[in-house]
Structure 1
Amino acid sequence: MDRGTRQSGDGGWFVTLAVGVSLMKCLLIPTYHSTDFEVHRNWLAITHSLPVSRWYYEATSEWTLDYPPFFAWFEYGLSYVARLFDPEMLKVENLNYASQETILFQRLSVILTDLLFIYAAKQCCRSIDGKTDRRDVLERPTFILSVLLLWNFGLLIVDHIHFQYNGFLSGIMLLSVARLFQKRHLESAFLFAVLLNFKHIYLYIAPAYGIYLLRSYCFTANNADGSLKWRSFSILRLFSLAVIVLFVFTVSFGPFVYMGQLPQVLSRLFPFKRGLCHAYWAPNFWALYNAADKVLSIIGVKMHLLDPAAIRTGSMTGGLVQEFEHSILPSVTPLATLICTLLSILPSVLRLWMRPRGPAGFLRCLVLCALGSFMFGWHVHEKAILLAILPLSILAVSSAKDAGIFLILATTGHLSLFPLLFTAQELPLKILLMAIFTVFSVGSLKALFRKEGRLLGCMETLYLWGLVPLELLCEIIYPLTLWQQHLPFIPLMLTSVYCALGVGYSWIRLYASVFTDPAAAHKKRQ
């Protein structure tokens, strides 16, 4: 089969996958939606009904506008289509408004903007090494990657049930990554700068972009041993990058700087008073820290080492963590989380600077930056795990070691999202969707790397199987017990702590792989 014929066939199955997942999203329109639905409806109303000067001051609803300006303009553009469905949704005073027309519009807006994600997924598939594409279509890296991205379980439930717009934002990120693989550095820099001005959570991965572009684009040549040739540093290329980034940020924040509102905008983007953890503990280091503090306080009281009256209690005991002080362990400040985050990503960034290893090295650093920020960041949302899972999907079809890490991270990270869908009618749906995605991931990656041996060790496999009884306990058994009335936070804490072990282990394994010589490992296999 020649190259043209193969690409034509690939286009056929990719379109089938894209259409299939889009139809699946349409079937999810009537499902439960979270408070994020009202968040975005309120932002539609704010941007449509009020002048720009009041966007970041409006506080009628508790769900104030707290995304960067590009996302505000995105909502503004959507609002002109929204008024064709139901103008009532665009009134700021109509809090918690959710007519059938409003639901239909907001669901369709997510589905249609996901077209950008579909395009980005196609570009990522074109960017990976296609040397092994001469096998059955179901075992091709491009086919497997297409399913891992287009049918990603986390995106399906977070965007199309829980309700958010992660799809098109992830599309911009993946398109930017694809452009780096295609050596279109300036376009990649432009896309990432635009992404930062849509949602500032992507600051997590900014160090990977900054170091890689400076190292691999601004330096036009290296010495034979891979060290830098400072004489080859291009001021013109650095200037080009700076102009692009400054242009994007000027367009985004310029109007608010002109109106003297930059401090107000920044206070909305970085609300440090929200507390160490989100309402449901993200499965990270601080979940383990919180659980340890809780266990130590209980043991201290039981052993009469502590006075129960002296134990500091807070919303933590209800599973809804906002601002609180730990009972036994030192309380954590935003500065402490920032230091921990910087220390967690520093080795990967330094490694990228010293030995870039091309786009694949950049991608590993990107995932490590995302995971480091997820593990140690302040007020991390559980949904932020997708920031690491999606780009890791690209590495998973290129390396057996990365495939094993992906299986652990994706499985634990996706199951940690289960508490977002807490209504009974969504229980069978989320279990079925995750089971299908997980079975495909394991089966397809095992088939792809069958010559490499086992992707997971015995203890890793045992840990993943442990998610099954955990889910049975938290979703079915525990709600039937009397403990549910007195200790309702236990299922959330168990899920968060158990999944935090898997996420942390994946982070450590990925770090170990960064400091292993892939070329040497490849020669050894040969």
Structure 2
Amino acid sequence: MIFTTSLLTSCVKLLLVPSYKSTDFEVHRNWLAITHSLPLEKWYYSATSEWTLDYPPFFAWFEFMLSQIAIYFDRNMLIVENIGYSSEKTILFQRLSVIVTDLVYIYGVSRVCKALAKSWRSDVVLPILLITNCGLIMVDHIHFQYNGILYGILLISVADMIKEKYLWSAFWFTFLLNMKHIYLYLAPAYFIYLLRNYCINEGPISSKNIITRRGCGYLLQLAFIVISVFTVSFGPFLSHVPQIISRLFPFKRGLCHSYWAPNIWALYNVIDKTATLILPKLNIPLENNTVAVMTGGLVQEFSHTVLPDIVPLTTLLLVLLFTLPLMIKLLFMNKAPIHFLRCLVLCALTSFLFGWHVHEKAILMAIIPLSILAIMEPIDAKIFLILSTTGHYSLFPLLFPHSLLSVKVLLHILYSCYSFYSLFKIHMSAINKYALPLLSTLESLYVIGLSGIFLYENVIHKALMLDKRLPFLPLLFTSVYCAMGITYSWCKYYSYFMSSNGDRKTQKTKANKTE
């Protein structure tokens, strides 16, 4: 099933080779040129293009290796000064490079499926859910990025965690961090789960089983792996680590990306804009007599008028505030991998909702591991269906050319239909047993409501001739509506995780009863 699904999906990817490409296409072409044409000490200092190298060293080396092949397609793409260069051979090479490196993702899917108990869920449904993920296809093979290889490494790490190969899992996750630092969002779940299940003895947590020779030795092993990988990664760049850090964490960027990612800050911004319109009508003066401006659209820099401005420290504190209870809960739960996976999803969602300058593409960091959970229990399937349908729809604005309308709609509908059908079939016995639908009436109405947002954006808005007066309105509706669904999913899943009974004593009792 994995081979067949991968082959068919690769054929679809090949058909997308001539499709629209975003500025990320030029970003990666420039990185190919930088790593191929410039000496190593200039990689993170080059500023010929505005698209400077801002990924960790392992990804820079990945671009360097690709450039050794790119030279046989078109050596002109490797000239740093050729800004915006996109010959047919350049396009072909970059598109093919994404398709080929997706083999790592396919391997990761295979590893996860083999790590789970053998059944038609893990052998048929899960590979299709992961390999045909429409968000990954839209982002990598139309918009253009290399997320496939990154999520492949993540899945390899998750598979090793499920199989209790803890050191290998830590190695691959650390390797991933040095490919793309956004995966720091997931680090707390990794740290606590490894600490509890690899370094601490079985039984209730106490000073006797925390501070032991065995525990300290295992902790040192983990530390050695992490430090070794970071040393290999940053060692060649030791003299300019501060420059790399400034590139990796550009806090001077605004709170929101150019298209507001569907998170808490999208809702926060809309509340502020709405207040600037309503308060003057209620004879409530605005600070400094500010006049509400609603024609600016969705911009990167956003100064709030009524509500307090948000600074990076605020977002960091909020992420930590909501992540800390998850870590405490995970620390006291049994070693079942399902708890680790749920915590992983919640860490990704928490950072997505409250993080600074979040990109809409980061929602895949929650959707992909949640795909594994969706085949396990109805609650996971419920959250997956809402989150994947909403999260994938929120990626539509990335593919803005009208010619791509039918492509993105078809990808989304096919994936969503299969997800609903297969997960309903998997969990049918549980649904019939408790006489509860997989989605409630309100949840179903919300998902159906996405079609209303689509209809407004592509038909009603133009029919009302609002393109010139309020050009940003369709994006605003998409961002806010999707933010409501993603926030709801987070609240529902967060509450379930925190109230779930996964302590070791309870698990042991249940196991005895089963026997």
Q: CA deviation at 1:311?
A: 2.3
Q: Structure 1 residues 50 and 32, CA, compared in 2 at 3 Å: closer, same or farther?
A: same
Match of 1:484 in 2: 467
Per-residue CA deviations over 1:390-434 (Å, capped at 9, x if unaligned) read 000011001111000100000110000000001011000100110
* Residues 88 and 480 of structure 1, relative CA distance in 2, 3 Å threshold: farther
Q: Which residue of 2 aligns with 1:503?
A: 486
> Alignment partner for residue 460 of structure 1, among 443, 456, 459?
443
CA deviations 1:50-81 (Å, max 9, x no partner) are: 01111111111111110001101110110111
Please say if 1:415 is aligned against 2:393.
yes
- Looking at structure 2, the residues matched to 282 and 358 of structure 1 have their Cα atoms a distance apart, in angstroms, of 33
Higher mean C-alpha displacement, 500-509 vs 355-364: 355-364
* Corresponding residue for residue 210 of structure 2: 230
Maintained 8 Å contact 2:334/2:502: no
Q: CA deviation at 1:358?
A: 2.1
Report the Cα offset of residue 302 of structure 1. Answer: 3.5
Give the aligned partner of residue 161 of structure 1: 142
1:356 Cα deviation (Å)? 4.0
Equivalents in 1 of 2:446, 2:29: separation in Å?
A: 40
What do you get for the CA RMSD once the two structures are aligned?
2.0
Q: 1:443 to 1:86 in 2, by over 3 A?
A: same
Normalization by structure 2: what TM-score? Answer: 0.94
Q: CA deviation at 1:347?
A: 1.1
Tell me how far apart the structure 2 counterparts of residues 354 and 321 of structure 1 sit (CA, whole Å): 43
CA-CA distance at 1:106 after TM superposition? 0.3
Aligned to 1:115: 103
Q: Is residue 105 of structure 1 aligned with residue 93 of structure 2?
A: yes
Q: 1:221 to 1:357 in 2, by over 3 A?
A: closer
CA contact (8 A) 2:287 2:305 kept: no
Between the aligned partners of 1:266 and 1:213, the Cα distance in structure 2 is 27
CA distance, structure 1, for counterparts of residue 245 and residue 429 of structure 2: 52
Q: Which amino acid aligns with 2:101?
A: T
Q: Give yes or no for contact 1:226–1:355 (8 Å, CA) kept in 2.
A: no
Q: Give the C-alpha shift of residue 304 in structure 1.
A: 4.2
The amino acid of 2:43's aligned partner reads W
Alignment correspondent of 1:174: 155
Matched residue, 2:379: 401
Matched, 1:494 2:494: no
Q: Which residue of 2 aligns with 1:390?
A: 368
Distance in 1 (alpha carbons) for counterparts of 2:283 and 2:34:
54
Deviation of residue 320 (structure 1)? 3.6
Amino acid at match of 1:290: N
Match of 2:132 among 136, 140, 151: 151
Distance (whole Å) between structure 2 residues aligned to residue 312 and residue 95 of structure 1: 40
The code of the aligned residue for 1:32 comes to Y
Residue in structure 1 matching 2:168, options 182, 187, 192: 187
Q: Which runs of 5+ in 2 are unaligned?
A: 432-436
Deviating runs (4+, > 6 A) in structure 1? 225-228, 518-523
Report how far residue 23 of structure 1 moved.
Answer: 1.0
SS of residue paired to 1:217: helix
Residues 261-272 of structure 1: pairs in structure 2 closer than 5 A: 261-272=240-251
How many angstroms apart in 2 are the aligned matches of 1:309 and 1:478? 34
CA–CA distance in structure 2, aligned partners of residues 292 and 253 of structure 1:
43
CA apart distance, 1:229: 2.6
TM-score (structure 1 length as normaliser)? 0.92
Which position in structure 2 is the counterpart of 1:69? Answer: 57
Structure 2 CA distance for aligned equivalents of residues 74 and 313 of structure 1: 47
Q: 1:16 aligns with which of 4, 20, 30?
A: 4
Partner secondary structure for residue 277 of structure 1: coil
1:54 to 17, 34, 42: 42
Distance 2:374 2:392 in 1: 16
Provide the secondary structure at the position in 1 that maps to 2:17.
coil
In 1, the alpha carbon distance for the partners of 2:99 and 2:326 equals 35
Could you say if the C-alpha distance between residues 171 and 226 of structure 1 is closer, same or farther in structure 2, counting changes exceeding 3 Å? farther
Question: Mean Cα displacement is larger for which, 141-150 or 189-198?
Answer: 141-150
- Secondary structure in structure 2 of the residue aligned to 1:274: coil
Shift of 1:360: 1.1
Q: 1: CA distance between counterparts of 2:449 and 2:57?
A: 43
The answer as to whether partners of 1:281 and 1:287 remain within 8 angstroms in 2 is yes
Tell me what 2:434 maps to.
none
Q: Give the AA of the match of 1:190.
A: F
| Cα offset, 1:256, TM superposition | 1.5
Report the identity percentage. 54
State the match for 1:251 in structure 2: 232
1:215 to 189, 192, 196: 196
What residue in structure 2 maps to residue 6 of structure 1?
Answer: none
Q: Distance in 1 between matches of 2:422 and 2:317?
A: 39
Q: What is the one-letter code of the residue matched to 1:344?
A: F
Asked if 2 retains the 8 angstrom alpha-carbon contact of 1:28 and 1:160, the reply is: yes
> Which of 255, 258, 261 matches 1:276?
255
Instruction: Give the aligned partner of residue 28 of structure 1.
Output: 16
CA shift in 2, pair 1:398/1:518, >3 Å: farther
Q: Separation in 1 of the partners of 2:295 and 2:197?
A: 49
Give SS of 1:234's match: helix
Q: Which moved more, 1:458-467 or 1:508-517?
A: 508-517
Give distance in 1, aligned partners of 2:295 and 2:243: 33
CA distance in 1, matches of 2:487, 2:206: 32
Indicate yes or no: 2:449 matched with 1:441. Answer: no
Cα offset, 1:168, TM superposition = 0.5
What one-letter code is carried by the residue in structure 1 that aligns with 2:182? I
CA drift at 1:477: 2.3
Identify the range of structure 1 (330-339 vs 448-457) with the bigger mean alpha-carbon deviation.
448-457
Gaps of 5+ in 1: 1-12
Greater shift, 358-367 or 197-206, is seen at: 358-367
Counterpart position of 1:517: 501
The one-letter code matched in structure 1 to 2:386 is: I
| Maintained 8 Å contact 1:222/1:228 | no
Q: How big is the shift at 1:325?
A: 1.6
Q: Aligned partners of 1:299, 1:400: CA distance in 2, in Å? A: 43
- 1:239 aligned to which of 204, 214, 220: 220
- Aligned CA distance change for structure 1 residues 355 and 307 (closer, same or farther; 3 Å): closer
Is 1:341–1:372's contact at 8 Å kept on the other side of the alignment? yes
Provide the residue aligned with 1:3 in structure 2.
none
Distance (whole Å) between structure 1 residues aligned to residue 492 and residue 263 of structure 2 = 15
Distance 2:187 2:286 in 1: 46
Could you tell me which of 122, 126, 130 is aligned with 2:114? 126
Which amino acid is 1:250 matched to?
A: T
SS of match in other structure, 2:471: coil
Alpha-carbon deviation of 1:211? 0.8
Deviation at 1:352, TM superposition (A): 0.6
